[in-house]
Amino acid sequence: MTNEKFTVEGSQVVEKIKELIHQGNIRRVRLIHKGRPLIDIPLTVGVPVAAATVLAAPVLAALGAIAALVTECTIEVERVEDTPKKRRTTKTTKG
């Protein structure tokens, strides 16, 4: 897993989190303001993006309310790294 941090203005929080959810490999999103966590959103890996967006709608509404109160905050994202699929190789012999 990898962690990334984005600093955004309050008005951009909801759009940035929607964008991150649509990427599909997000395990957790944390909203931080002045070093203190405001909200921690666990996401289920493997849920289709459309379902994740619908399930996250109430959380996004809450984020909108929080974002209206802050001028700048940090979004911390925990990503699940995609594991490369093993390729099967076959040997061919000329005979």
What does the chain come to in residues? 95
Give the 3-state secondary structure of residue 25: coil
Pair 30, 41: CB distance under 8 Å: yes
Give the 3-state secondary structure of residue 43: coil
pLDDT digits (tens, 9 = 90+) for 9-27: 888 888 888 888 777 778 8
Give 40's contacts (C-beta < 8 A, 6+ positions apart): 28, 29, 30, 31
**Amino acid residing at 37:** P
Q: How many CA atoms lie within 13 A of 92 on its CB side?
A: 1
Tell me the angle at which helices 57-69 and 13-23 cross, rounded to the nearest 10 degrees.
150
pLDDT digits (tens, 9 = 90+) for 32-87: 888 999 888 887 655 555 555 556 677 777 777 777 778 888 999 998 876 555 44
Better pLDDT: 73 or 91: 73
Structure tokens at 24: 């599909």
